[in-house]
A and B are shown apart, each in its own frame.
Chain A
Protein backbone atom coordinates (compact mmCIF):
# COMPACT_ATOMS: atom_id res chain seq x y z
CA UNK A 1 0.00 0.00 0.00
CA UNK A 2 2.75 2.45 -0.74
CA UNK A 3 3.15 4.26 -3.98
CA UNK A 4 5.18 6.92 -5.59
CA UNK A 5 4.04 10.29 -6.82
CA UNK A 6 6.72 11.15 -9.26
CA UNK A 7 7.64 14.77 -9.79
CA UNK A 8 6.40 16.18 -13.02
CA UNK A 9 8.88 16.99 -15.75
CA UNK A 10 9.14 20.76 -16.32
CA UNK A 11 6.42 22.09 -18.55
CA UNK A 12 4.30 18.98 -18.29
CA UNK A 13 0.66 18.85 -17.28
CA UNK A 14 -1.27 20.86 -14.72
CA UNK A 15 0.20 24.24 -13.84
CA UNK A 16 0.75 25.82 -10.46
CA UNK A 17 3.27 25.03 -7.78
CA UNK A 18 0.81 23.21 -5.54
CA UNK A 19 0.03 20.69 -8.22
CA UNK A 20 3.61 20.00 -9.22
CA UNK A 21 3.18 16.26 -9.35
CA UNK A 22 2.33 13.71 -11.91
CA UNK A 23 1.08 10.31 -11.16
CA UNK A 24 3.28 7.31 -11.40
CA UNK A 25 2.59 4.89 -8.66
CA UNK A 26 4.40 1.69 -8.11
CA UNK A 27 3.01 -0.70 -5.64
CA UNK A 28 0.46 -0.93 -2.97
CA UNK A 29 1.54 -3.09 -0.16
CA UNK A 30 4.03 -1.91 2.39
CA UNK A 31 3.07 -4.92 4.46
CA UNK A 32 4.51 -7.37 1.98
CA UNK A 33 8.14 -6.43 1.50
CA UNK A 34 10.22 -9.27 0.19
CA UNK A 35 13.10 -9.99 2.32
CA UNK A 36 16.43 -11.33 1.27
CA UNK A 37 19.10 -8.75 1.96
CA UNK A 38 22.79 -9.27 1.37
CA UNK A 39 24.70 -11.72 3.56
CA UNK A 40 28.14 -13.26 3.34
CA UNK A 41 29.47 -16.11 5.45
CA UNK A 42 32.98 -16.21 6.82
CA UNK A 43 34.06 -19.48 8.32
CA UNK A 44 37.40 -19.33 10.16
CA UNK A 45 39.28 -22.30 11.58
CA UNK A 46 42.27 -21.71 13.83
CA UNK A 47 44.99 -24.11 12.68
CA UNK A 48 47.96 -22.76 14.72
CA UNK A 49 50.49 -23.80 12.12
CA UNK A 50 52.47 -20.66 12.86
CA UNK A 51 55.50 -22.28 14.47
CA UNK A 52 56.48 -23.86 11.19
CA UNK A 53 55.52 -20.78 9.23
CA UNK A 54 52.35 -22.54 8.11
CA UNK A 55 48.76 -21.37 8.12
CA UNK A 56 47.47 -19.85 11.34
CA UNK A 57 43.91 -19.57 10.25
CA UNK A 58 42.08 -21.25 7.41
CA UNK A 59 39.13 -19.40 5.97
CA UNK A 60 36.12 -20.09 3.81
CA UNK A 61 34.29 -17.05 2.54
CA UNK A 62 30.91 -17.47 0.85
CA UNK A 63 29.78 -14.44 -1.17
CA UNK A 64 26.52 -14.30 -3.10
CA UNK A 65 26.99 -14.34 -6.86
CA UNK A 66 24.25 -11.76 -7.33
CA UNK A 67 26.11 -9.35 -5.03
CA UNK A 68 29.32 -9.92 -6.98
CA UNK A 69 27.45 -9.43 -10.24
CA UNK A 70 26.22 -6.04 -9.05
CA UNK A 71 29.76 -4.72 -8.56
CA UNK A 72 31.68 -6.72 -11.17
CA UNK A 73 29.18 -7.25 -14.02
CA UNK A 74 29.79 -10.97 -14.22
CA UNK A 75 26.93 -11.57 -16.65
CA UNK A 76 28.99 -11.04 -19.81
CA UNK A 77 26.18 -11.63 -22.29
CA UNK A 78 23.65 -9.69 -20.20
CA UNK A 79 21.03 -12.43 -20.49
CA UNK A 80 20.18 -12.50 -16.78
CA UNK A 81 21.78 -15.89 -16.14
CA UNK A 82 25.21 -16.43 -14.67
CA UNK A 83 26.80 -19.53 -16.08
CA UNK A 84 29.84 -21.26 -14.64
CA UNK A 85 31.77 -20.11 -17.71
CA UNK A 86 31.06 -16.48 -16.86
CA UNK A 87 31.89 -16.90 -13.19
CA UNK A 88 35.06 -18.87 -13.98
CA UNK A 89 36.20 -16.19 -16.42
CA UNK A 90 35.89 -13.59 -13.64
CA UNK A 91 37.52 -15.62 -10.87
CA UNK A 92 40.50 -13.29 -10.62
CA UNK A 93 38.28 -10.19 -10.55
CA UNK A 94 36.23 -11.80 -7.78
CA UNK A 95 39.31 -12.65 -5.70
CA UNK A 96 40.86 -9.23 -6.25
CA UNK A 97 37.67 -7.41 -5.27
CA UNK A 98 36.91 -9.58 -2.25
CA UNK A 99 40.39 -9.72 -0.76
CA UNK A 100 40.77 -5.96 -1.19
CA UNK A 101 38.04 -5.78 1.44
CA UNK A 102 39.51 -8.13 4.02
CA UNK A 103 42.67 -7.02 5.80
CA UNK A 104 44.61 -9.11 8.26
CA UNK A 105 47.03 -7.84 10.90
CA UNK A 106 49.02 -9.48 13.69
CA UNK A 107 50.66 -6.36 15.02
CA UNK A 108 54.09 -4.88 14.24
CA UNK A 109 56.92 -7.32 13.47
CA UNK A 110 54.61 -10.18 12.66
CA UNK A 111 53.98 -9.29 9.03
CA UNK A 112 50.84 -11.27 8.40
CA UNK A 113 49.28 -11.82 5.03
CA UNK A 114 46.32 -13.52 3.51
CA UNK A 115 46.89 -16.11 0.80
CA UNK A 116 43.92 -16.76 -1.47
CA UNK A 117 43.30 -20.42 -2.29
CA UNK A 118 40.90 -22.10 -4.66
CA UNK A 119 37.46 -20.84 -5.54
CA UNK A 120 34.37 -23.01 -5.69
CA UNK A 121 30.60 -22.65 -5.80
CA UNK A 122 28.06 -23.43 -3.13
CA UNK A 123 24.28 -23.38 -3.21
CA UNK A 124 22.65 -21.55 -0.32
CA UNK A 125 18.94 -21.29 0.37
CA UNK A 126 18.78 -17.90 -1.35
CA UNK A 127 20.98 -18.62 -4.35
CA UNK A 128 24.45 -19.61 -5.49
CA UNK A 129 27.54 -18.28 -3.76
CA UNK A 130 31.17 -18.05 -4.75
CA UNK A 131 33.31 -19.80 -2.15
CA UNK A 132 36.75 -18.30 -1.61
CA UNK A 133 39.21 -20.30 0.46
CA UNK A 134 42.19 -18.62 2.03
CA UNK A 135 44.94 -19.06 4.62
CA UNK A 136 46.58 -16.57 6.92
CA UNK A 137 50.35 -16.74 7.31
CA UNK A 138 52.60 -14.62 9.53
CA UNK A 139 56.37 -14.28 9.61
CA UNK A 140 56.24 -14.79 13.37
CA UNK A 141 53.18 -16.14 15.06
CA UNK A 142 51.33 -13.34 16.91
CA UNK A 143 49.17 -13.81 20.00
CA UNK A 144 46.22 -12.23 18.35
CA UNK A 145 45.11 -11.76 14.81
CA UNK A 146 42.69 -9.10 13.68
CA UNK A 147 40.67 -9.19 10.49
CA UNK A 148 39.07 -6.03 9.14
CA UNK A 149 36.06 -6.76 7.00
CA UNK A 150 34.69 -4.16 4.62
CA UNK A 151 33.06 -6.06 1.77
CA UNK A 152 30.06 -4.25 0.20
CA UNK A 153 29.61 -1.89 3.16
CA UNK A 154 30.35 1.10 0.92
CA UNK A 155 27.65 0.20 -1.58
CA UNK A 156 25.17 -1.51 0.75
CA UNK A 157 25.15 -0.58 4.44
CA UNK A 158 22.66 -3.38 5.07
CA UNK A 159 25.20 -6.05 4.08
CA UNK A 160 26.12 -8.38 6.94
CA UNK A 161 28.80 -11.01 7.34
CA UNK A 162 28.04 -13.95 9.56
CA UNK A 163 31.28 -15.24 11.06
CA UNK A 164 31.76 -18.65 12.58
CA UNK A 165 35.09 -19.20 14.31
CA UNK A 166 36.25 -22.73 15.10
CA UNK A 167 39.07 -23.22 17.57
CA UNK A 168 39.50 -26.85 18.56
CA UNK A 169 36.28 -27.90 20.22
CA UNK A 170 35.05 -24.36 20.60
CA UNK A 171 32.89 -22.49 18.16
CA UNK A 172 31.88 -18.87 18.37
CA UNK A 173 29.91 -16.60 16.10
CA UNK A 174 29.89 -12.92 15.24
CA UNK A 175 27.88 -10.60 13.05
CA UNK A 176 29.82 -7.97 11.10
CA UNK A 177 28.23 -4.68 10.03
CA UNK A 178 29.52 -1.29 8.89
CA UNK A 179 29.55 -0.25 12.57
CA UNK A 180 31.42 -3.35 13.62
CA UNK A 181 33.64 -4.83 10.93
CA UNK A 182 36.55 -6.20 12.96
CA UNK A 183 37.19 -9.74 14.20
CA UNK A 184 39.84 -10.47 16.81
CA UNK A 185 41.14 -14.02 16.80
CA UNK A 186 43.14 -15.04 19.90
CA UNK A 187 45.86 -17.55 19.05
Chain B
Protein backbone atom coordinates (compact mmCIF):
# COMPACT_ATOMS: atom_id res chain seq x y z
CA UNK B 1 0.00 0.00 0.00
CA UNK B 2 2.68 2.45 0.89
CA UNK B 3 5.27 1.37 -1.61
CA UNK B 4 7.41 3.83 -3.45
CA UNK B 5 6.87 4.20 -7.15
CA UNK B 6 10.41 4.47 -8.32
CA UNK B 7 13.01 2.55 -10.20
CA UNK B 8 16.19 1.32 -8.70
CA UNK B 9 19.23 3.16 -9.91
CA UNK B 10 20.87 0.04 -11.19
CA UNK B 11 18.12 -0.25 -13.79
CA UNK B 12 17.44 1.96 -16.73
CA UNK B 13 14.37 4.02 -15.90
CA UNK B 14 12.10 1.84 -17.95
CA UNK B 15 10.25 -0.44 -15.57
CA UNK B 16 6.58 0.06 -14.83
CA UNK B 17 4.86 1.10 -11.67
CA UNK B 18 4.14 -2.46 -10.68
CA UNK B 19 7.68 -3.57 -11.27
CA UNK B 20 8.90 -0.49 -9.43
CA UNK B 21 6.84 -1.57 -6.44
CA UNK B 22 8.42 -4.99 -6.58
CA UNK B 23 11.83 -3.35 -6.54
CA UNK B 24 11.08 -1.65 -3.27
CA UNK B 25 13.13 -4.06 -1.21
CA UNK B 26 16.19 -3.55 -3.38
CA UNK B 27 15.65 0.18 -3.29
CA UNK B 28 15.52 0.21 0.48
CA UNK B 29 18.78 -1.66 0.66
CA UNK B 30 20.41 0.89 -1.63
CA UNK B 31 18.92 3.69 0.43
CA UNK B 32 20.17 2.18 3.66
CA UNK B 33 23.63 1.82 2.21
CA UNK B 34 23.53 5.43 1.10
CA UNK B 35 22.35 6.63 4.50
CA UNK B 36 24.96 4.58 6.33
CA UNK B 37 27.74 6.07 4.28
CA UNK B 38 26.41 9.56 4.58
CA UNK B 39 27.94 10.56 7.90
CA UNK B 40 30.14 13.56 7.35
CA UNK B 41 28.45 14.77 4.17
CA UNK B 42 29.22 18.41 4.52
CA UNK B 43 26.64 20.52 2.75
CA UNK B 44 23.19 21.37 4.00
CA UNK B 45 20.63 19.32 2.10
CA UNK B 46 17.22 20.61 1.10
CA UNK B 47 14.48 19.13 3.25
CA UNK B 48 13.04 17.03 0.44
CA UNK B 49 16.20 14.97 0.14
CA UNK B 50 16.65 14.07 3.76
CA UNK B 51 14.96 10.70 3.85
CA UNK B 52 13.35 9.95 0.53
CA UNK B 53 12.56 6.32 1.12
CA UNK B 54 10.44 6.01 4.20
CA UNK B 55 6.72 5.32 4.37
CA UNK B 56 4.20 8.09 5.09
CA UNK B 57 4.78 9.53 8.54
CA UNK B 58 3.65 12.21 10.93
CA UNK B 59 6.39 14.73 11.59
CA UNK B 60 7.01 15.18 15.28
CA UNK B 61 8.56 18.62 15.10
CA UNK B 62 6.34 21.57 14.16
CA UNK B 63 9.29 23.62 13.00
CA UNK B 64 10.67 21.07 10.56
CA UNK B 65 10.95 22.33 6.96
CA UNK B 66 9.09 19.99 4.65
CA UNK B 67 9.25 21.73 1.30
CA UNK B 68 10.71 24.77 -0.40
CA UNK B 69 8.10 26.81 -2.24
CA UNK B 70 8.34 30.12 -4.08
CA UNK B 71 8.57 32.91 -1.54
CA UNK B 72 6.00 35.68 -1.76
CA UNK B 73 8.90 38.12 -1.42
CA UNK B 74 10.34 36.96 -4.75
CA UNK B 75 9.82 39.68 -7.42
CA UNK B 76 8.73 37.01 -9.91
CA UNK B 77 6.11 35.73 -7.48
CA UNK B 78 4.89 39.24 -6.79
CA UNK B 79 4.51 39.81 -10.53
CA UNK B 80 2.52 36.57 -10.83
CA UNK B 81 0.22 37.58 -7.95
CA UNK B 82 -0.35 41.04 -9.42
CA UNK B 83 -1.17 39.61 -12.85
CA UNK B 84 -3.41 36.95 -11.31
CA UNK B 85 -5.42 39.62 -9.49
CA UNK B 86 -5.72 41.69 -12.66
CA UNK B 87 -7.08 38.74 -14.62
CA UNK B 88 -9.48 37.80 -11.83
CA UNK B 89 -11.01 41.26 -11.98
CA UNK B 90 -11.42 41.10 -15.78
CA UNK B 91 -11.41 37.42 -16.74
CA UNK B 92 -12.25 38.04 -20.41
CA UNK B 93 -9.38 40.41 -20.99
CA UNK B 94 -6.95 38.73 -23.39
CA UNK B 95 -4.06 41.06 -22.63
CA UNK B 96 -4.45 40.41 -18.88
CA UNK B 97 -4.45 36.67 -19.60
CA UNK B 98 -1.33 36.96 -21.75
CA UNK B 99 0.44 38.97 -19.06
CA UNK B 100 -0.32 36.30 -16.47
CA UNK B 101 0.70 33.50 -18.84
CA UNK B 102 3.99 35.34 -19.51
CA UNK B 103 4.58 35.79 -15.77
CA UNK B 104 4.08 32.05 -15.22
CA UNK B 105 6.24 31.05 -18.18
CA UNK B 106 9.03 33.42 -17.16
CA UNK B 107 9.04 32.30 -13.55
CA UNK B 108 8.89 28.61 -14.47
CA UNK B 109 11.83 29.02 -16.83
CA UNK B 110 13.84 30.94 -14.30
CA UNK B 111 13.45 28.40 -11.51
CA UNK B 112 13.32 25.36 -13.79
CA UNK B 113 9.87 24.23 -12.70
CA UNK B 114 7.53 22.83 -15.36
CA UNK B 115 4.43 23.32 -13.20
CA UNK B 116 4.24 26.92 -14.33
CA UNK B 117 3.99 25.97 -17.99
CA UNK B 118 0.86 24.05 -16.99
CA UNK B 119 -0.54 27.04 -15.10
CA UNK B 120 0.10 29.27 -18.12
CA UNK B 121 -1.59 26.75 -20.39
CA UNK B 122 -4.72 26.82 -18.23
CA UNK B 123 -4.80 30.63 -18.34
CA UNK B 124 -4.79 30.86 -22.14
CA UNK B 125 -6.85 27.70 -22.74
CA UNK B 126 -10.16 29.54 -23.33
CA UNK B 127 -8.57 31.52 -26.17
CA UNK B 128 -6.54 28.68 -27.63
CA UNK B 129 -9.67 26.53 -27.66
CA UNK B 130 -11.85 29.18 -29.31
CA UNK B 131 -12.93 28.97 -32.94
CA UNK B 132 -10.57 31.76 -33.97
CA UNK B 133 -7.62 31.75 -31.59
CA UNK B 134 -5.76 35.07 -31.44
CA UNK B 135 -2.09 35.12 -32.45
CA UNK B 136 -0.93 36.05 -28.92
CA UNK B 137 -2.55 32.96 -27.40
CA UNK B 138 -1.19 30.66 -30.11
CA UNK B 139 2.28 32.11 -29.57
CA UNK B 140 2.21 31.38 -25.82
CA UNK B 141 0.90 27.88 -26.42
CA UNK B 142 3.79 27.34 -28.86
CA UNK B 143 6.23 28.54 -26.19
CA UNK B 144 4.77 26.09 -23.67
CA UNK B 145 5.02 23.17 -26.11
CA UNK B 146 8.56 24.14 -27.04
CA UNK B 147 9.46 24.21 -23.35
CA UNK B 148 8.12 20.66 -23.07
CA UNK B 149 10.16 19.63 -26.10
CA UNK B 150 7.06 19.02 -28.19
CA UNK B 151 8.82 20.56 -31.12
CA UNK B 152 6.61 19.53 -34.05
CA UNK B 153 3.33 20.88 -32.61
CA UNK B 154 5.18 23.98 -31.36
CA UNK B 155 6.42 24.62 -34.89
CA UNK B 156 2.92 24.18 -36.29
CA UNK B 157 1.54 26.74 -33.84
CA UNK B 158 4.29 29.23 -34.70
CA UNK B 159 3.35 28.84 -38.37
CA UNK B 160 -0.29 29.51 -37.49
CA UNK B 161 0.75 32.56 -35.48
CA UNK B 162 2.69 33.91 -38.45
CA UNK B 163 -0.26 33.13 -40.72
CA UNK B 164 -2.32 35.53 -38.61
CA UNK B 165 0.45 38.03 -37.98
CA UNK B 166 3.24 37.81 -40.56
CA UNK B 167 5.38 40.43 -38.85
CA UNK B 168 5.29 38.90 -35.36
CA UNK B 169 8.95 39.16 -34.43
CA UNK B 170 8.60 37.03 -31.31
CA UNK B 171 7.19 34.18 -33.40
CA UNK B 172 10.11 34.50 -35.83
CA UNK B 173 12.53 34.54 -32.93
CA UNK B 174 10.98 31.41 -31.43
CA UNK B 175 11.11 29.75 -34.83
CA UNK B 176 14.78 30.72 -35.18
CA UNK B 177 15.41 29.15 -31.78
CA UNK B 178 13.62 25.99 -32.77
CA UNK B 179 15.51 25.77 -36.05
CA UNK B 180 18.83 26.22 -34.25
CA UNK B 181 17.95 23.61 -31.63
CA UNK B 182 17.03 21.18 -34.38
CA UNK B 183 20.06 21.99 -36.52
CA UNK B 184 18.28 23.55 -39.52
CA UNK B 185 20.67 26.47 -39.81
CA UNK B 186 19.59 27.61 -43.28
CA UNK B 187 16.03 28.07 -42.02
CA UNK B 188 17.30 29.78 -38.86
CA UNK B 189 19.23 32.27 -41.01
CA UNK B 190 16.03 33.23 -42.83
CA UNK B 191 14.17 33.52 -39.51
CA UNK B 192 16.85 35.88 -38.16
CA UNK B 193 16.32 38.21 -41.14
CA UNK B 194 12.63 38.42 -40.24
CA UNK B 195 13.53 39.04 -36.60
CA UNK B 196 15.68 41.95 -37.65
CA UNK B 197 12.89 43.37 -39.80
CA UNK B 198 10.30 43.05 -37.06
CA UNK B 199 12.15 43.77 -33.84
CA UNK B 200 15.15 45.83 -34.80
CA UNK B 201 18.77 45.27 -35.60
CA UNK B 202 19.92 44.46 -32.03
CA UNK B 203 17.74 41.38 -32.06
CA UNK B 204 18.63 40.43 -35.60
CA UNK B 205 22.36 40.70 -34.88
CA UNK B 206 22.07 38.63 -31.70
CA UNK B 207 20.05 36.02 -33.59
CA UNK B 208 22.64 35.78 -36.39
CA UNK B 209 25.56 35.83 -33.96
CA UNK B 210 24.09 32.92 -32.08
CA UNK B 211 23.66 31.09 -35.38
CA UNK B 212 27.32 31.66 -36.29
CA UNK B 213 28.49 29.86 -33.18
CA UNK B 214 26.93 26.65 -34.53
CA UNK B 215 28.58 26.96 -37.93
CA UNK B 216 32.28 27.24 -37.35
CA UNK B 217 32.30 30.97 -36.70
CA UNK B 218 32.22 31.01 -32.94
CA UNK B 219 35.04 33.56 -32.76
CA UNK B 220 33.11 36.08 -34.87
CA UNK B 221 29.99 35.22 -32.90
CA UNK B 222 31.74 36.04 -29.64
CA UNK B 223 33.07 39.35 -30.98
CA UNK B 224 29.62 40.38 -32.21
CA UNK B 225 27.91 39.37 -29.00
CA UNK B 226 30.43 41.26 -26.88
CA UNK B 227 29.93 44.31 -29.03
CA UNK B 228 26.15 44.32 -28.77
CA UNK B 229 26.22 43.39 -25.09
CA UNK B 230 28.42 46.33 -24.19
CA UNK B 231 26.19 48.63 -26.22
CA UNK B 232 23.00 47.25 -24.74
CA UNK B 233 22.80 49.82 -21.96
CA UNK B 234 22.11 52.67 -24.29
CA UNK B 235 20.81 51.00 -27.41
CA UNK B 236 18.19 48.57 -26.18
CA UNK B 237 15.20 50.41 -24.82
CA UNK B 238 12.79 49.10 -22.23
CA UNK B 239 14.88 46.73 -20.19
CA UNK B 240 18.48 46.10 -21.11
CA UNK B 241 19.20 43.65 -18.28
CA UNK B 242 17.43 40.71 -19.88
CA UNK B 243 19.04 41.39 -23.23
CA UNK B 244 22.46 41.55 -21.60
CA UNK B 245 21.89 38.30 -19.70
CA UNK B 246 20.92 36.60 -22.90
CA UNK B 247 23.83 37.88 -24.98
CA UNK B 248 26.27 37.06 -22.14
CA UNK B 249 24.90 33.52 -22.02
CA UNK B 250 25.29 33.17 -25.78
CA UNK B 251 28.81 34.60 -25.47
CA UNK B 252 29.70 32.01 -22.83
CA UNK B 253 28.57 29.24 -25.17
CA UNK B 254 30.43 30.74 -28.14
CA UNK B 255 33.60 30.96 -26.02
CA UNK B 256 33.21 27.32 -25.03
CA UNK B 257 33.01 26.35 -28.72
CA UNK B 258 36.52 27.68 -29.25
CA UNK B 259 37.91 26.51 -25.91
CA UNK B 260 38.31 30.05 -24.57
CA UNK B 261 37.65 28.88 -21.03
CA UNK B 262 38.43 32.00 -19.04
CA UNK B 263 36.32 34.13 -21.39
CA UNK B 264 33.47 31.63 -21.09
CA UNK B 265 33.68 31.65 -17.30
CA UNK B 266 33.76 35.43 -17.20
CA UNK B 267 30.59 35.52 -19.32
CA UNK B 268 28.80 33.00 -17.11
CA UNK B 269 29.75 34.91 -13.98
CA UNK B 270 28.66 38.27 -15.36
CA UNK B 271 25.34 36.85 -16.51
CA UNK B 272 24.77 35.16 -13.14
CA UNK B 273 25.60 38.40 -11.34
CA UNK B 274 22.62 39.90 -13.16
CA UNK B 275 20.33 36.91 -12.62
CA UNK B 276 21.71 34.60 -9.92
CA UNK B 277 18.75 32.23 -9.83
CA UNK B 278 18.46 31.54 -13.57
CA UNK B 279 18.21 27.79 -14.06
CA UNK B 280 19.59 27.87 -17.61
CA UNK B 281 22.65 29.88 -16.65
CA UNK B 282 23.25 27.79 -13.54
CA UNK B 283 23.07 24.55 -15.48
CA UNK B 284 25.28 25.88 -18.30
CA UNK B 285 27.89 27.06 -15.80
CA UNK B 286 27.66 23.77 -13.89
CA UNK B 287 28.40 21.85 -17.10
CA UNK B 288 31.35 24.16 -17.68
CA UNK B 289 32.67 23.43 -14.15
CA UNK B 290 32.16 19.68 -14.51
CA UNK B 291 34.10 19.74 -17.78
CA UNK B 292 36.90 21.68 -16.10
CA UNK B 293 37.18 19.13 -13.29
CA UNK B 294 35.72 21.45 -10.64
CA UNK B 295 32.79 19.42 -9.26
CA UNK B 296 33.07 20.83 -5.73
CA UNK B 297 32.06 24.25 -7.05
CA UNK B 298 28.97 22.68 -8.63
CA UNK B 299 27.74 21.63 -5.18
CA UNK B 300 27.99 25.21 -3.98
CA UNK B 301 26.49 26.64 -7.16
CA UNK B 302 23.45 24.34 -7.31
CA UNK B 303 22.98 23.36 -3.66
CA UNK B 304 19.76 25.35 -3.36
CA UNK B 305 18.35 24.29 -6.74
CA UNK B 306 17.72 20.59 -6.34
CA UNK B 307 14.06 21.00 -7.32
CA UNK B 308 15.04 21.47 -10.96
CA UNK B 309 15.75 18.12 -12.60
CA UNK B 310 18.38 19.56 -14.92
CA UNK B 311 20.20 21.06 -11.93
CA UNK B 312 19.74 17.86 -9.94
CA UNK B 313 21.46 15.81 -12.64
CA UNK B 314 24.51 18.09 -12.39
CA UNK B 315 24.52 17.71 -8.60
CA UNK B 316 24.44 13.94 -9.02
CA UNK B 317 27.31 14.13 -11.54
CA UNK B 318 29.34 16.31 -9.20
CA UNK B 319 28.73 13.95 -6.26
CA UNK B 320 29.87 11.03 -8.40
CA UNK B 321 32.98 12.88 -9.57
CA UNK B 322 33.90 13.58 -5.94
CA UNK B 323 33.26 9.95 -4.91
CA UNK B 324 30.96 11.44 -2.31
CA UNK B 325 29.34 8.81 -0.06
CA UNK B 326 26.01 10.37 -1.01
CA UNK B 327 26.54 9.85 -4.75
CA UNK B 328 24.50 6.64 -5.01
CA UNK B 329 21.57 8.26 -3.23
CA UNK B 330 21.61 11.13 -5.72
CA UNK B 331 21.74 8.71 -8.64
CA UNK B 332 18.83 6.79 -7.13
CA UNK B 333 16.71 9.91 -6.80
CA UNK B 334 17.56 10.96 -10.34
CA UNK B 335 16.44 7.55 -11.62
CA UNK B 336 13.24 7.87 -9.59
CA UNK B 337 12.52 11.25 -11.14
CA UNK B 338 13.01 9.88 -14.65
CA UNK B 339 10.74 6.99 -13.71
CA UNK B 340 8.07 9.40 -12.51
CA UNK B 341 8.30 11.17 -15.87
CA UNK B 342 7.95 7.89 -17.69
CA UNK B 343 4.94 6.90 -15.59
CA UNK B 344 3.14 10.12 -16.43
CA UNK B 345 3.68 9.34 -20.09
CA UNK B 346 5.71 12.49 -20.29
CA UNK B 347 7.76 14.02 -22.98
CA UNK B 348 11.06 12.54 -23.87
CA UNK B 349 13.97 14.27 -22.15
CA UNK B 350 16.63 12.39 -24.00
CA UNK B 351 19.60 14.63 -23.37
CA UNK B 352 19.49 14.29 -19.59
CA UNK B 353 18.52 10.62 -19.73
CA UNK B 354 21.31 9.75 -22.16
CA UNK B 355 23.85 11.56 -20.02
CA UNK B 356 22.54 9.84 -16.90
CA UNK B 357 22.82 6.41 -18.54
CA UNK B 358 26.30 7.16 -19.87
CA UNK B 359 27.96 8.92 -16.97
CA UNK B 360 26.12 7.67 -13.89
CA UNK B 361 24.76 4.27 -14.80
CA UNK B 362 27.74 3.38 -16.99
CA UNK B 363 25.40 1.75 -19.47
CA UNK B 364 26.70 2.82 -22.91
CA UNK B 365 24.24 0.68 -24.89
CA UNK B 366 21.24 2.33 -23.26
CA UNK B 367 22.93 5.72 -23.46
CA UNK B 368 23.52 5.26 -27.18
CA UNK B 369 19.90 4.33 -27.81
CA UNK B 370 18.67 7.35 -25.83
CA UNK B 371 21.20 9.68 -27.46
CA UNK B 372 20.18 8.51 -30.93
CA UNK B 373 16.51 9.06 -30.22
CA UNK B 374 17.29 12.44 -28.71
CA UNK B 375 19.36 13.44 -31.72
CA UNK B 376 16.35 13.00 -34.00
CA UNK B 377 14.77 15.85 -31.99
CA UNK B 378 17.61 18.07 -30.79
CA UNK B 379 20.97 18.82 -32.37
CA UNK B 380 22.59 21.31 -30.07
CA UNK B 381 26.29 20.76 -29.33
CA UNK B 382 25.53 18.84 -26.11
CA UNK B 383 23.18 16.48 -27.98
CA UNK B 384 25.81 15.80 -30.60
CA UNK B 385 28.52 15.39 -27.98
CA UNK B 386 26.48 12.81 -26.06
CA UNK B 387 25.73 10.81 -29.18
CA UNK B 388 29.41 10.72 -30.14
CA UNK B 389 30.51 9.85 -26.61
CA UNK B 390 27.90 7.09 -26.28
CA UNK B 391 28.81 5.59 -29.67
CA UNK B 392 32.44 5.53 -28.63
CA UNK B 393 31.72 4.04 -25.20
CA UNK B 394 29.44 1.42 -26.73
CA UNK B 395 32.12 0.63 -29.31
CA UNK B 396 29.67 1.27 -32.10
CA UNK B 397 31.33 4.15 -33.96
CA UNK B 398 29.13 3.76 -37.03
CA UNK B 399 26.04 4.51 -34.96
CA UNK B 400 27.29 8.11 -34.90
CA UNK B 401 27.82 8.37 -38.67
CA UNK B 402 25.02 10.89 -39.23
CA UNK B 403 26.18 13.06 -36.35
CA UNK B 404 29.76 12.94 -37.64
CA UNK B 405 28.56 14.14 -41.03
CA UNK B 406 26.57 16.90 -39.31
CA UNK B 407 29.68 18.07 -37.43
CA UNK B 408 31.68 18.14 -40.65
CA UNK B 409 29.03 19.83 -42.81
CA UNK B 410 28.42 22.60 -40.31
CA UNK B 411 32.04 22.96 -39.19
CA UNK B 412 30.84 22.64 -35.62
CA UNK B 413 33.62 23.80 -33.32
CA UNK B 414 34.09 22.33 -29.86
CA UNK B 415 37.26 20.87 -28.35
CA UNK B 416 35.43 17.91 -26.80
CA UNK B 417 33.31 17.17 -29.87
CA UNK B 418 36.36 17.57 -32.10
CA UNK B 419 38.30 14.99 -30.07
CA UNK B 420 35.41 12.52 -30.02
CA UNK B 421 34.79 12.92 -33.74
CA UNK B 422 38.42 12.31 -34.57
CA UNK B 423 38.56 9.19 -32.42
CA UNK B 424 35.35 7.85 -33.99
CA UNK B 425 36.59 8.50 -37.53
CA UNK B 426 39.84 6.68 -36.77
CA UNK B 427 37.89 3.70 -35.45
CA UNK B 428 35.59 3.66 -38.47
CA UNK B 429 38.54 3.85 -40.87
CA UNK B 430 40.51 1.13 -39.11
CA UNK B 431 37.48 -1.17 -39.03
CA UNK B 432 36.92 -0.45 -42.74
CA UNK B 433 40.56 -1.33 -43.46
CA UNK B 434 40.17 -4.84 -42.10
CA UNK B 435 37.00 -5.50 -44.07
CA UNK B 436 37.58 -7.57 -47.19
Contact = CB atoms under 8 A, between A and B. Distances in A.
A12 B48 CA distance: 45
Given A21-B169, A31-B383, A128-B67, A38 B198 contact: no
B197 interface: yes
Given A23-B240, A125-B333, A171-B21, A5 B173 contact: yes
A185 interface: no
A79 B115 contact: no
Interface string A66-91: 11011000110011111111011000
B115 A38 contact: yes
A29 B232 CA distance: 20
Interface of A: 1-6, 8-9, 12-14, 18-19, 21-39, 41, 43, 45, 58, 60, 62, 65-67, 69-70, 74-75, 78-85, 87-88, 120-128, 131, 154-160, 162, 164, 166, 171, 173, 175
5 contacts: A6-B102, A12-B238, A14-B200, A37-B117, A160-B345
Nearest to B119: A156
B57 to A, nearest CB: 6
B114 A34 contact: yes
B181 A1 contact: yes
A123 B50 contact: yes
Nearest to B173: A5
Nearest to A59: B1
Contacts of B5: 41, 162, 164
A31 to B, nearest CB: 4
A63 B72 CA distance: 22
B366 interface: no
Main secondary structure of the interface of B (DSSP, over half): helix
Contacts of A45: 1
A14 B236 CA distance: 10
Contacts of B232: 23
Nearest to A27: B280
Contacts of B56: 60, 62, 120-122, 131
B40 interface: no
B223 interface: no
A4 to B, nearest CB: 7
A66 B59 contact: no
A2 B239 contact: no
A31 B50 CA distance: 30
Nearest to B146: A30
B280 A32 contact: yes
Given A27-B280, A125-B6, A156-B119, A82 B102 contact: no
A59 B430 CA distance: 61
Interface in B325-354: 333, 336-337, 340-341, 343-346, 349, 351-352
B71 interface: yes
Contacts of B202: 23
